[in-house]
Structure 1
Amino acid sequence: MMPAEEPPPAPADAAPAEEEETFTLTTGVGFRAALRLQDSENPKKIFGDQWFDELYVEPRFSGRVTKEVGWAANFQASGGTVQGLEVRTLDLYGQLDFADEFHIWAGRLLTPSDRSNFSGPWFMSPWTYPGVYFGGPYIGPRGTEELGRDTGAVVWGDVGEGMFKYYLGVMDLDGNPGDPAPFSQSPLYSARLAYAFIGKEPGFYGSSTYYGSQDIVAIGAAVQYQNDYTIFDEDGMPAVRDDLLEINADILAEFNLGGAGTLTFEGAYYYFDTDAMPMDHHFFVLASYLTPEMIGIGKLQPLVRYQQAMNDDTDQTISQFDVVLSYVMKDYFAKLALAYTHANVSDLGGGTDQNLIQIGFQIQQ
């Protein structure tokens, strides 16, 4: 009878797994400046005066406390413009990131509206933001009037690594809800859906160009509602008070044609059902081309954009045409832009058509 084999020695106590370090801090900064050439006394004339109509720096901070808990705080300091020196809070919000498909962010953050707002001026090819009419009003989704941000909470999710995204926001929660009417405002409800047929767009934010890094065909749609939305005059008194319904839709198509360069097409349409907005309809379309090879330290990107807004009740129509030539040195992070703009705003009471040139410089990291 063979003796039984000795049992294997007991394994040594495993060393306790080191707890993963999750606390992180990320910093960044962005800088934009634009010199404007336009006659201040006769806005139809390009030359005559020059001044910086954009000059600002954005310090950016974000961090994670745990894998699921994070925060962001971004600021803007501007100076040298007609408004003088000004420091503003852009973003100040906390993040609960339970899964790619389910997040809750709350504080001061981007209003979930259109692609342009998720891109901002930093991640789009035109130099000026759509809906900004020189010599006229800003026409855009509710909750984007203050640098695209408002105070509230957003539930959002990313399905299929950026193939489909949804956003549900309750915004304008700093609208003095405890004050008596007409000084108080109800919350703004804003929802958006986005789907990419080609390519993927993961994460909360978005872009209006990928500079050829991927082919993309994506659509998005949003709806907003606010009860008793109020416009205040210069003295802080209610001027217009009305329920607001806003609907918009957008499309982005970009194709890298290899040695033939990169083509980009974008369009968006907005409908406003309220007396508290200056226009009832607004749309823009653009097309751009990015050269395939470097010319010096960058690539050239010519672009054209047309936008128009209409008021059904007054039959007023305003429009704007932009031609931009950008020198893209590092995608979103370093570029120069030379832009010509013609704005037809004479249909507005007292409006004067505008012609101007902007020379812009953008860097960020």
Structure 2
Amino acid sequence: MRKSLLAMAALMGVATLPAHAWRVKVDEQTFANIGFSTMIRGTYEGKRKTNEKSRANFKVQLFNITASGQVNKLVYFGMNLEGTRAIKDKYCDEIEDGEPKCTERTSEPFGVRVRDAFIGLKFADELRVQAGLQRVPFSRASLTSTYALLVPTSYAGQGLGPGVNPLNVQTNIDVSPRDAGVVVWGNVAEGMLKYYLAVTDGATIGSSTDDSLAYTLRLQFTPTMLGFKPETGYTVSDTYLGKQNVLSIGAGYRVVGRNGRDTKMWTVDALYEQKFGDIVPNLQVGYISVKDANGTSDLDLSHIYAQGQLLYDQVVGFGKPALAVKFEQNKRKASGTDPKNTRVGVWAHYYIKGQAAKVSLGVDSVNLNSAAKANVSGGGKNFTDVTLQFQVQF
């Protein structure tokens, strides 16, 4: 069964398909794999504003029900439902005086929203077409599941001022890296080269605004002639936990029409992971640049990161220990101000059964420059968080 599920992962592009999903089988060609995933998190949060106090919070960080399968060898499908909770966040849509205009919104408590829903046609390994709501094939960050991140609290520019984090503008300053449309993608030369071509709505999810379409191109190269295994699925992962040696180099470009002006984004990234005996080192770097964010002239954003992990690939007690670190920096340049925040995270992971059962303990330290502190209502502060997280996938 595990081989068939891994084959399905390659077909569907699900990087973290659980090894024990429930399979509903109609016949040899028609089946679906049903999965369940969740994250439970407790965090001691440092003071983020001058008038705030430190606090401890417990929450269900993520809750997902997934289905993936095929109707026949040509037609496949995928679906991801995510539980929602009553949380407040910022939604930035219109531009006012050269700045994104943000309003606070509250999600529906105890609801469910569709995160992914698509239908695909696999004509060949080199040519597949997916239509629906799916991840934007722009950067490694946008193609990586939260369940497969080395530092699950990373890419966290939200709350540090509108537009600081360029990941928020992949669908126009929305925190979701999803967009609705059509993606043509495939693997050439048995995965040595992977390509994506996407035409999507480009409108912020949850917004009634309907602007120009978004166009995305991503290329990813793996030197398979050196013995490295390609990442042939639609999505990717921060780590493969020593199950395959990976060296992937990617580049992406995205244009989104907004407010009568194009927002242009480009990125470069690379992942290296190789098993040496019982030790599995991992290194990933990336850079994202956004020009005229949200269709605003001279509102430019950038994000740079470097991260790594050392995994001891032997069971100690009842799991495999690993240590991960990450550095990331978000910058914004507009109207003579340059907000910048820098985050350093150190996380210890205990992989009880890979990503399917994992306990993580991490410390994140965030530093804001004076412009970023002034960009936070009430006055921002440097802060440090300590997080304990449990993760399960089935």
Q: Secondary structure at the match of 1:287?
A: strand
What does 1:43-54 correspond to in 2, within 5 Å? 48-54=54-60
Matched residues in 2 for 1:162 and 1:41: separation?
A: 45
Cross-structure match for 1:281? 302
Structure 1 range deviating more: 96-105 or 327-336: 327-336
Letter of the 2:170 partner, please give it. Answer: R
Choose the corresponding residue for 1:211, options 241, 255, 261.
241
Structure 2 residue ranges without an equivalent (≥5): 1-26, 89-106
Change (3 A) 1:64 1:43: farther
Q: Deviation string for 1:300-358 (max 9, x for gaps)?
A: 11111111122344233221111111111122211111111111124312332221111
Kept in 1: contact 2:157–2:330 (CA 8 A): no
Cross-structure match for 1:28? 35
Q: Secondary structure at the match of 1:122?
A: helix
Q: Tell me, yes or no, if structure 1 residue 77 matches structure 2 residue 96.
A: no
Kept in 2: contact 1:44–1:354 (CA 8 A): no
Q: Secondary structure at the match of 1:117?
A: helix
Offset of residue 362 of structure 1:
1.0
Q: Deviation string for 1:235-268 (max 9, x for gaps)?
A: xxxxxx6320000010001121113x11111000
Matched residues in 1 for 2:210 and 2:81: separation?
A: 27
Cross-structure match for 2:147? 122
Cross-structure match for 1:168? 197
Letter of the 2:247 partner, please give it. Answer: V
Letter of the 1:247 partner, please give it. Answer: W
Kept in 2: contact 1:250–1:269 (CA 8 A): yes
Cross-structure match for 1:112? 137
Cross-structure match for 2:319? 298
Identity of aligned residues (%): 24
Kept in 1: contact 2:165–2:330 (CA 8 A): no
Letter of the 1:339 partner, please give it. Answer: G
Offset of residue 200 of structure 1:
1.6
Root-mean-square deviation (CA, aligned residues, Å) is 2.6
Offset of residue 212 of structure 1:
1.0
Choose the corresponding residue for 1:90, options 101, 115, 118.
115
Q: Secondary structure at the match of 1:169?
A: strand
Structure 1 range deviating more: 147-156 or 268-277: 268-277
Give runs of ≥4 in structure 1 deviating > 6 Å.
Answer: none
Letter of the 2:343 partner, please give it. Answer: Q
What does 1:248-327 correspond to in 2, within 5 Å? 248-259=267-278, 261-276=279-294, 279-313=300-334, 314-327=337-350
Offset of residue 63 of structure 1:
2.4
More helix by share: 2
Cross-structure match for 2:216? 190
Cross-structure match for 1:9? none
Cross-structure match for 2:262? 243
Change (3 A) 1:64 1:292: closer
Change (3 A) 1:67 1:292: closer
Change (3 A) 1:271 1:201: same
Kept in 2: contact 1:169–1:189 (CA 8 A): yes
Matched residues in 2 for 1:248 and 1:22: separation?
A: 38
What does 1:4-23 correspond to in 2, within 5 Å? 21-23=28-30
Q: Secondary structure at the match of 2:166?
A: coil
Matched residues in 1 for 2:47 and 2:116: separation?
A: 34
Offset of residue 119 of structure 1:
1.7
Change (3 A) 1:255 1:272: same
Matched residues in 2 for 1:142 and 1:257: separation?
A: 37
Offset of residue 138 of structure 1:
3.7
Kept in 2: contact 1:175–1:186 (CA 8 A): no
Kept in 1: contact 2:166–2:301 (CA 8 A): no
TM-score (norm 1): 0.82
Choose the corresponding residue for 1:335, options 335, 358, 379.
358
Q: Secondary structure at the match of 1:258?
A: coil
Kept in 1: contact 2:171–2:203 (CA 8 A): no
Kept in 1: contact 2:46–2:54 (CA 8 A): yes
Q: Deviation string for 1:28-56 (max 9, x for gaps)?
A: 111112111125676899x9421135433
Kept in 2: contact 1:35–1:50 (CA 8 A): yes
Change (3 A) 1:223 1:201: same
Matched residues in 1 for 2:350 and 2:357: separation?
A: 9
Offset of residue 209 of structure 1:
0.8
Aligned length: 328
Q: Secondary structure at the match of 1:199?
A: coil
Matched residues in 1 for 2:218 and 2:48: separation?
A: 42
Matched residues in 1 for 2:37 and 2:349: separation?
A: 18
Letter of the 2:324 partner, please give it. Answer: L
Q: Secondary structure at the match of 1:206?
A: coil
Matched residues in 2 for 1:272 and 1:175: separation?
A: 16
Change (3 A) 1:306 1:134: farther
Offset of residue 199 of structure 1:
2.0
Matched residues in 2 for 1:306 and 1:173: separation?
A: 29
Q: Deviation string for 1:185-233 (max 9, x for gaps)?
A: 1011111000112222122121121111122111000000122x25xxx
Cross-structure match for 1:11? none
Letter of the 1:108 partner, please give it. Answer: L
Kept in 2: contact 1:27–1:60 (CA 8 A): yes
Change (3 A) 1:43 1:30: farther
Change (3 A) 1:193 1:41: closer
